[in-house]
Amino acid sequence: MAVLWLDEISAGDLEKVGGKGASLGELTGAGLPVPPGFVVTAGTYRSFIEEAEIDEELFEVVDVDVDDSSALATAADRAQELILETPFPEDLREEILDSYHQVGNGEAFVAVRSSATAEDLPDASFAGQQETFLNVTEEALLDRVRECWASLFTQRAIYYRQEQGFDHSAVNIAVVVQQMVDAEKSGVMFTSHPSTGDPTMIIEAAWGLGEAVVSGAVSPDNYVVPREEDDIDVTVAEKKVMHEKDEETGETVEREVPEDRRNARVLSDDEIGKLVELGERVEDHYDTPQDVEWAIVGDDVYMLQSRPITTIDEGGSGGEAPDASGAVDAAKGVTDGSGSVQAASGGDGGSSGGSSGDVIVDGLGSSPGTVSGAAQIVTKLDDLDKVKEGDIIVTEMTMPDMVPAMKRASGIITDEGGMTSHAAIVSRELGVPAIVGTTNATTVLEDGQVVTLDGDKGAVLEGQEVEPDEETEPVEEVRPQSPVKPMTATEVKVNVSIPEAAERAAATGADGVGLLRTEHMILSLNQTPAKFIAENGEDAYIQELVQGIRGVADEFYPRPVRVRTLDAPTDEFRQLEGGEDEPKEHNPMLGYRGIRRSLDRPGVFAHELEAFRRLYEMGYDNVEIMFPLVNDAEDIYQAKRLMEEAGIDPEKRKWGAMIETPASALSVEGMAEAGIDFASFGTNDLTQYTLAVDRNNEHVADRFDELHPSILKLIGNVIETCREHDVDTSICGQAGSKPEMVQFLVDEGVSSISANIDAVRDVQHEVKRTEQKLLLDSVR
């Protein structure tokens, strides 16, 4: 048997039908209303390649050095070709088509989805790599099945398996073929409260197909149904878009919701009753609360997927653990939409309260959390070896070479720098508490002295005030505690400056990366680009960039990743080998950096662009290009020409510019006419250039005010102009993590906000609150 019907499958058949197939089979067997369908089993895929005798070659060709991108590309092409060009044996063709005819009596539109069998591949970016096709008809069915099989061998999939240490031949793939449900309404349902486990069902619903709700494209209605009472709490949202099947092409399209249904309640009491009954049945079946995707057509309710809710706080441990309180607060975003979430960041667990130690040093709290540890004064790179796990690094200013030691440290204190300095940015990304700009920490503190660092208040106290953190897990700290993130029309993205932080950044559930700084990838080579190329060749330099960007693009795929071309000032390059050739500048912040350096050295810039071209060729269509420190349309035209010369089609790819100088803010109309897709506010630089306040100078740090009225005026005008020209706007400077700035930007109509990793959750809720207030104000 090449196929198994869903009603023949149960949860134990994972090896045969993959995770998706097993779950749908189990639900069908339990008598729940799952759309009918079958699974082309993993065994069928395996016999297909074995009987055609392509298996050996297949696994041989993909056994390549995945860091060699041209070898990887050749391997993926050949592997896919082997599968796609092997004809179906006649009996298999027949069996699949016969089965198809039995689904929906012959003319059904079906969904064709890959269902990988390697259950222990938890990473979402891996799971998302295999193909899914909607609205497939008989004509295309067999090709689509084969394409699902071939999707095991895309460059990304091969790379990923190799990196994770999975044997290519041990991963199989089944294909689910299931009748499409043309949902009139759809959404998700939690059969119990997602953090407390209380018997309260929470339903989110919108018009059309479910993708709009699951992807966050629409803010859904919210229904809170306490199972013991009839008292349903309903919050009706404005639903601007819906996904539905285009009758002509059969494709899924996004359409505007007709005016009269936008603010109308989606679910009737009767439908809620049916969903609740279904929820009770599925919860009883699994004997544990479930997170269910559902759809309604006419009077029929369907279940599309069901997973256990994993976020319920079993211990009911009250408020003592930061995770527990975070979970409850975050869940409020789901239950009542109020989104009143307190920061649950840092590892202090509230234990810093009652501190009686004297403040011996103070500065700017730049990465939250409270820790105690032994100070280690680092004045030269050789000192880094003495930093042991749990120590606190005390230094003038951190540098890219220090990142490995910064990861070992429990805290970081610097003499110099402001909130946008290297130490501040990197420590936040690593989740390590930090204080910057103390002016005197390296002279006041002593090697080995035990101190307590409060990264919220910016104070260093004498002695040990908190216990060493047992198991702080930086990735888990930022993972949303509620299974559904707040649905916002304004996208909330995340900033990444060091590739090591990519996993933690992706775990936030952000809508993509609003800024990936490439500087660290280059500076950590310890040689200037010119020196590195002279010693290792152009290709090695391009490969470094490809690898660094790819790591992040993979973590987020298919969410967009906005990658900025190089923007390191000459004083940072000077510290590297080859740095002696850098121009000597009185004021590097105003000097040879960003796009002005790139346009002046088109030969070196071409290597960066070549890295982008290769990534596009490898299928990373989620990568976007952003140019730093532009001043006007002329800069944009020149950069665009170089992009074209490098073989990147500006019409096909998303690209844009940072707004970091008053000149760029005032010239944005010309930049829009030059073709940018987006403009992103780099408020760290925009503030320093508008207010003439050096962002790294602790002596004027109190004047570094990103909310200064002049800056807000520039930003407001840019948003307005960009809206007129259909150009997206975003913020990727530090200020995007501040609630006041978030409110201002959402009020002005910004398209997205990119925040620090530890701030994503709060920003999501702040955006939601501001959007809801705007809606309420408009109807009052």
Residues annotated as catalytic are 422, 732
CA distances from 197 to 326, 327, 328, 482 (A): 15, 12, 11, 12
**Nearest CA to 232 among 212, 214, 205, 206?**
205
Q: What are phi and psi of 50, to 5 degrees?
A: -75, -45
Least separation in angstroms between CB 316 and ligand PEP: 42
Q: How far is the CB of 690 from ligand PEP (least distance, A)?
A: 12
Q: Which does 508 bind (CB under 5 to 8 A by kind): Mg ion, ligand PEP, none?
A: none
How many CB atoms lie under 10 A from the CB of residue 610? 19
DSSP-derived 3-state class of residue 594: helix
Residue number, 360 or 757, with CB nearest to ligand PEP = 757
Confirm or reject binding of residue 732 to ligand PEP (CB under 6 A).
yes
Give min distance, CB of 685 to Mg ion, in A: 4
Q: Does 682 bind ligand PEP (CB under 6 A)?
A: yes
Cβ proximity to Mg ion: between 432 and 568 the closer is 568
Total of residues contacting ligand PEP (CB under 6 A): 11
What is the rounded CA–CA span in Å between residue 250 and residue 111?
Answer: 12
Q: Least distance to ligand PEP from the beta carbon of 741, Å?
A: 12
Q: Does 598 bind ligand PEP (CB under 6 A)?
A: no
- From the list 517, 550, 614, 738, which residue makes contact with ligand PEP (rule: CB under 6 A)? 517
**Residue 305 CB, nearest approach to ligand PEP (Å):** 38
Task: Give the integer Cα–Cα distance in Å for 43 and 173.
Answer: 8
- Length, in residues, of the chain: 780
What is the separation, in whole angstroms, between the first and last Cα of the chain?
Answer: 63
Q: Which stretch binds Mg ion (CB under 5 A): 42-50, 105-113, 492-500, 680-688?
A: 680-688
DSSP annotation string for 358-382: PEEEE-EEEE--EEEEEEEEESSGG
3-class DSSP state for residue 600?
helix
| Cα 243 from Cα 265, distance rounded (Å) | 17
Find which of Mg ion, ligand PEP, none residue 543 binds, CB within 5 to 8 Å per kind.
none
Work out whether 415 is an interface residue with Mg ion (CB under 5 A).
no
Residues 303-362 that bind Mg ion (CB under 5 A): none
Residue 348 binds which entry of Mg ion, ligand PEP, none, CB below 5-8 Å type-dependent: none
Closest approach of ligand PEP to the CB of residue 429, in Å: 13
Per DSSP bridges, beta strands 678-681 and 450-454 are unpaired
Closer to ligand PEP by Cβ: residue 455 or 733 = 733
Kindly state the number of chain residues that form the binding site for Mg ion, as judged by CB under 5 A: 3
665 binds, among Mg ion, ligand PEP, none (CB under 5 to 8 A by kind): none
- How big is the CA angle at 108 (ends 105 and 113), to the nearest 5 degrees? 125
198 three-state secondary structure? coil
Residue 738 beta carbon to ligand PEP: minimum distance, rounded to whole angstroms? 13
Nearer to ligand PEP, 469 or 567 (CB): 567
Q: At its nearest, how many Å lie between ligand PEP and the CB of residue 505?
A: 15
Residue 685 found at the interface with Mg ion (CB under 5 A):
yes
Report the b/e string of 349-370 with b at 16+ CB within 10 A. bebbeebebeebbbbbbbbbbb
Q: Which is nearer to Mg ion, 685 or 706 (CB)?
A: 685
Q: Which amino acid is at 555?
A: E
- Structure tokens given for 327: 């979970």
195 binds ligand PEP (CB under 6 A): no
Q: Are 244 and 206 in contact (CB under 8 A)?
A: no
Look at the block and give the residue holding tokens 């009996």. Answer: 91
Per rule CB under 5 A, is residue 147 in the interface with Mg ion? no
Smallest gap from Cβ 682 to Mg ion, in A, equals 4
Query: What are the Cα distances from residue 242, in Å, to 248, 252, 265, 268, 480?
Result: 17, 10, 14, 19, 25
Token digits for 220?
A: 């859904």
Q: Is 514 in the site for ligand PEP (CB under 6 A)?
A: no
**Binding at 732: pick from ligand PEP, Mg ion, none (beta carbon under 5-8 Å per type):** ligand PEP
The reply on whether position 518 binds ligand PEP by CB under 6 A is no
**DSSP β-ladder status, 221-226 and 200-207:** antiparallel
DSSP classification of residue 7 = G
**What amino acid is encoded at 777 in this protein?**
D
Residue 371 or 658: the one with the smaller Cβ distance to ligand PEP is 658
Angstrom distances, CA of residue 478 to CA of 262, 315, 379, 504, 757:
33, 20, 32, 7, 7
Picked from Mg ion, ligand PEP, none, the partner binding residue 733 (CB below 5 to 8 A depending on kind) is ligand PEP
Q: Which range touches Mg ion (CB under 5 A), out of 386-394, 642-650, 655-663, 764-772?
A: 655-663
Q: Which of 283, 329, 608, 685 binds ligand PEP (CB under 6 A)?
A: 685
Containing 393, the helix (H) or strand (E) segment is strand 392-395
- What's the rounded Cα separation, in Å, for the pair 497 and 518? 7
Residues from 657 through 676 that contact Mg ion (CB under 5 A): 660
Of 313 and 660, nearer to ligand PEP (C-beta) is: 660
**How much of the chain is helix, strand and coil, in % rounded to 5?**
45, 20, 35
Stretch that binds ligand PEP, among 186-194, 468-476, 485-493, 679-687 (CB under 6 A): 679-687
Residue closer to ligand PEP (CB basis): 422 or 559: 422
Can you say whether residue 703 is alpha, beta or left, with left for phi > 0 and alpha for psi between -120 and 50 degrees? alpha
Task: Determine contact, residues 131/152, Cβ cutoff 8 Å.
Answer: no
Binding mask 362-401 for ligand PEP (x = CB under 6 A): ----------------------------------------
Can residue 683 be called a binding residue for ligand PEP (CB under 6 A)? yes
Contact partner, 517, from ligand PEP, Mg ion, none, Cβ < 5-8 Å per class:
ligand PEP
**Smallest separation, CB 275 to Mg ion (Å):** 49
* CA gap 565, 519 in Å, rounded: 8
CA quadruple 657, 661, 663, 667: dihedral sign: positive
Angle at 73 between CA 69 and CA 75, to 5 degrees: 115
Residue with smaller CB distance to ligand PEP, 195 or 664 = 664
Q: How far is the CB of 352 from ligand PEP (least distance, A)?
A: 29
CA distance 780 to 738: 28
Give the torsion sign (CA, 237, 241, 245, 247).
Answer: positive
CA distance 154 to 131: 10
Closest separation between CB of residue 564 and ligand PEP, Å? 7
The partner in contact with residue 187, picked from Mg ion, ligand PEP, none with C-beta cut-offs of 5 to 8 angstroms by kind, is none
Q: Does 684 bind ligand PEP (CB under 6 A)?
A: yes
Please, which residues bridge with residue 205 across strands? Answer: 187, 221
* Residue in 162, 192, 311, 420 binding ligand PEP, rule: CB under 6 A: 420
Position 565 contacts ligand PEP (CB under 6 A) = no
Binder of residue 515, out of Mg ion, ligand PEP, none (CB less than 5 to 8 A by kind): ligand PEP
- Residue 731: CB minimum distance to ligand PEP, A: 8
The stretch among 137-145, 468-476, 685-693, 696-704 that binds Mg ion (CB under 5 A) is: 685-693
Pick between residue 146 and residue 422 the one whose CB is nearest to ligand PEP: 422
Interface residue with ligand PEP, options 733, 750, 763, 772 (CB under 6 A): 733
Q: For 122, how many CA atoms within 13 A lie in the half-sphere containing its CB?
A: 2
Q: Which one, 103 or 732, has the nearer CB to ligand PEP?
A: 732
CA 545 to chain centre: 20
Q: Report the residue from 25, 499, 682, 736 that binds Mg ion according to the rule CB under 5 A.
A: 682
By CB under 6 A, name the binding residues for ligand PEP. Answer: 420, 515, 517, 567, 660, 682-685, 732-733
By CB under 5 A, name the binding residues for Mg ion. Answer: 660, 682, 685
